[in-house]
Amino acid sequence: MKYLPLLLSLLALGFVGCSQKADPNKITVQLDWVPEPEHGGLFQALAKGWFADAGLNVELVPGGPNAFVTQKVATNKAQIGQADSTNTLLAVNQGLPLLQVAAVFQNEPSVLMLHADNPITDFKQLDGKKIMARPDWAFLPYLKKKYGIDFTLIPFNFSVTNFIADPDFIQQGYYIAEPYFITQGGAKPPKFLYSWDAGFDAYSVLAANSAWAKENPELLRKFIAVYIRGWRDYLENDPAPAHELMKSLNDKNTDGFMAFCRQMIIDEKLVVGRDSTDSSQIGRLDPARYQTQINQLEDLDILPKGALTVDQVMSTDYLPAK
Amino acid sequence: MPSPVAQLKSVTKRFGAAPPVLDDLSLTANPGDFISIIGPSGCGKSTLLRLLSGLTPASSGDINVLGHPPGETDRLAYVFQEPTLLPWLDVNGNVEALLRLRNLPGTEITTRREQALQLVRLTDRAHHYPRQLSGGQKMRVSLARALTLQPDLLLLDEPFGALDEMTRDHLNEELLTIRDQQNWTAFFVTHSVAEAVFLSTRILILAPHPGRIVAEIAVDFSHPRTDELRRTDAYLRLVAEVSRQLRAVEPANATP
Amino acid sequence: MIRRILPPVITGVLLLLAWLALHAALPASQQFLLPTPVRILSAAAARAPELASAAAWTATAALGGFALATTVAISFSLLLASSRLVRAALYPYVMLLQMVPIIIIAPILILWVGAGLPSVIIVTFLISFFPMVVNNTQGLLSADPNLVDLFRMGKATPWQQLWLLRVPSALPYFFTGLRIAAVLAPIGALTGDYLVGTTSGGNAGLGITAMIASTRSEIPALYATAFIACALGWVFVATVSAASWAALHRWHDSYNQN
Identify the pLDDT of residue A17. Answer: 46
Distance from CA of B247 to the nearest CA of C (A): 31
Indicate the DSSP class of residue C199.
B
Q: Are B206 and B37 in contact (CB under 8 A)?
A: yes
Cα dihedral sign, A93-A98-A99-A105: negative
Q: What is the 3-state secondary structure (H, E, C) of A80-114?
A: EEEEEHHHHHHHHHCCCCEEEEEEEECCCCEEEEE
Q: Tell me if residue B36 falls in helix, strand or coil.
A: strand
Position A174 confidence tier, pLDDT thresholds 50, 70, 90: confident
In terms of CA atoms, which chain C residue is nearest residue B88? C251
Neighbours of B177 (CB within 10 A): 15
Asked whether the beta carbons of B26 and B8 are under 8 A apart, the reply is yes
Distance CA C107, CA C199 (A): 17
Secondary structure of residue B224 in the 3-state scheme: coil
Distances (CA, A) of B231 to B203, B223, B228, B238, B239: 20, 16, 6, 12, 11
The ipTM (two decimal places) reads 0.84
Of A20 and B142, the structure prediction assigns the larger pLDDT to B142
Number of continuous H segments (helices) and E segments (strands) in chain A: 14, 10
Residues of chain C with pLDDT > 90: what percent? 59
Distance in Å, alpha carbon of B52 to nearest chain C alpha carbon: 11
Residues of A in contact with C40 (CB under 8 A): none
- Say how many C-beta atoms besides its own lie within 10 A of residue B96's C-beta: 23
Long-range CB contacts (within 8 A, 24+) of A215-222:
A216/A24, A217/A317, A217/A318, A219/A24, A219/A25, A219/A27, A219/A56, A220/A80, A220/A101, A220/A318, A221/A318, A221/A320, A222/A54, A222/A55, A222/A56
How many angstroms separate the Cα of C19 from the Cα of each of A1, A9, B225, C26, C223?
15, 12, 78, 11, 13
C-alpha torsion angle, residues C102, C195, C55, C59 (rounded to 10): -40
Cβ-based contacts of C257 with chain B (< 8 Å): 131-132
pLDDT of residue B35 exceeding 90, the answer is: yes
Task: Tell me the average pLDDT of chain C.
Answer: 89
Whether residues A130 and C198 touch (CB distance < 8 A) is answered with: yes
Nearest alpha carbon to residue A283 among A235, A237, A228, A232:
A228
Write the single-letter amino acid at B234. Answer: A
- Helix-, strand-, coil-residue percentages of chain C, each rounded to 5: 85, 0, 15
| DSSP for residue B157 | E
Provide the chain C residues 5-44 that lie in CB contact (below 8 A) with chain A: 18, 21-22, 25-27, 29-33
Question: Averaged over C71-83, what is the pLDDT?
Answer: 92
Contact call for residues B33 and B5 (beta carbons, < 8 A): yes
CA C70 – CA C59 distance, rounded (Å): 16
Q: Is the pLDDT of residue C90 over 50?
A: yes
Chain C residues near residue B80 by CB distance under 8 angstroms: 146, 149-150
- Round to whole Å and give the CA distance between A189 and A164: 11
Q: How far is it, in rounded angstroms, from Cα B167 to Cα C31? A: 72
pLDDT digits (tens, 9 = 90+) for A236-292: 999 999 999 999 998 888 999 999 999 999 999 999 998 888 889 999 999 999 999
User: Which residues from C are below 8 Å from B53, CB to CB?
Assistant: 153
pLDDT digits (tens, 9 = 90+) for C17-51: 999 999 999 888 888 889 999 999 999 998 898 89
- When scoring C142, C153, C165, C252 by the number of chain B Cβ atoms within 10 A, the one with the most, hence best to mutate, is C153
Q: How confident is the model at residue A61 (pLDDT cuts 50, 70, 90)?
A: very high
Q: How far is C254 from chain B (nearest CA, A)?
A: 12
Highest mean pLDDT among B13-22, B221-230, C57-66, C187-196: C57-66
Distance CA A310, CA A287 (A): 7
Nearest to residue B134, comparing CAs of B167, B172, B156? B167
Whether residues C30 and A135 touch (CB distance < 8 A) is answered with no
Q: Which residues contact A6 (CB under 8 A, 6 or more apart)?
A: none
What average pLDDT does chain A have? 89
- Among the partner residues A16, A155, A161, nearest to C27 by beta-carbon distance: A16
- Chains C and B: 3 or more CB pairs within 8 Å of each other: yes
What does the DSSP 8-state code read for residue C164? I
Per the CB < 8 Å rule, is B100 touching C164? yes
- Of C179, C62, C177, which is closest to residue C122 (Cα–Cα)? C62
Among C26, C200, C207, select the one facing A12 at the smallest CB separation.
Answer: C26
Can you spell out the DSSP letters for A33-76? SSS-GGGHHHHHHHHTTHHHHTT-EEEEEP--TT--HHHHHHTT
When the pLDDT of each residue in chain B is averaged and rounded to a whole number, the result is 89
Among B88, B100, B102, whose Cβ lies nearest the Cβ of C251? B88
- Strand, coil or helix: what is C46? helix
Query: In B, which residues are within 8 Å of C168 by CB distance?
Result: 86, 88
Chain C positions touching A150 (Cβ under 8 A) are 200-201
Question: Nearest 5°: CA angle at C90, between C88 and C92?
Answer: 80
**Cβ(A86)–Cβ(A61) under 8 Å?**
no
For A117-159, the pLDDT digits (tens) are: 999 999 999 998 889 998 889 999 999 999 999 998 888 877 7
Q: Which residues of B touch C251 (CB under 8 A)?
A: 87-89, 129-131
Q: pLDDT tens-digit profile of B187-240?
A: 999 999 999 999 999 999 998 888 889 889 999 888 888 888 989 999 999 999
Contact assignment for C25 to A8 by CB distance below 8 Å: yes
Q: Which of A9, A134, A152 has its CB closest to that of C198?
A: A152
- Concatenating the DSSP letter of every residue in A11-42 gives HHHHHHHTT--S-TTEEEEE-SSSS-GGGHHH
Lateral strand order in the sheet of A98-105: A57-61, A26-30, A80-84, A204-209, A98-105
Who has greater pLDDT, B71 or A289? A289
Q: Is the pLDDT of residue A4 over 60?
A: no
CB burial readout A180-199, b (16+ within 10 A) else e? bbbeeeebeebbbbebeebe
Give the pLDDT confidence score for residue C112 in this predicted structure: 86
Question: Is the pair A, B in contact (3+ CB pairs within 8 Å)?
Answer: no
Q: Could C155 and B74 be called an inter-chain contact, meaning their C-beta atoms sit closer than 8 Å?
A: yes
Backbone angles phi, psi at A155, to 5 degrees: -60, 135
What span, in angstroms and rounded, lies between the C-alpha atoms of C59 and C177?
20
C146 touches chain A (CB under 8 A): no
Mean pLDDT of C90-99: 86
What does the pLDDT read at residue A7? 54
Asked if A202 and A109 touch (Cβ cutoff 8 Å), the reply is: no
Flag if B130 and C165 touch (Cβ within 8 Å).
no
> Please, what sign has the CA dihedral across residues C48, C49, C51, C55?
positive
Inter-residue contact A56 to A27 (CB < 8 Å): yes
Helix axes C167-196, C102-112, angle to 10 degrees: 70
Q: What is the pLDDT of residue B156?
A: 94
Q: Searching chain B, which residue's CA lies closest to the CA of residue C154?
A: B98
Enumerate residues 6+ apart whose C-beta is below 8 A from A90: A138, A297, A302, A303, C216, C217, C218
Size of interface B-C (CB pairs under 8 A): 49
Task: Tell me whether the omega of the peptide bond preceding residue B19 falls within 30 degrees of 0, making it cis.
Answer: no
Distances (CA, A) of A139 to A108, A112, A292: 11, 10, 13
CB burial of residue B2 (10 Å; 0-12, 13-18, 19+): exposed
CA distance C185 to chain A (A): 20
Decide if B82 and C146 are in contact by the 8 Å CB cutoff: yes
How far B217 CA lies from chain C's nearest CA (Å)? 30
Q: Is B75 on the interface with C (CB under 8 A)?
A: no
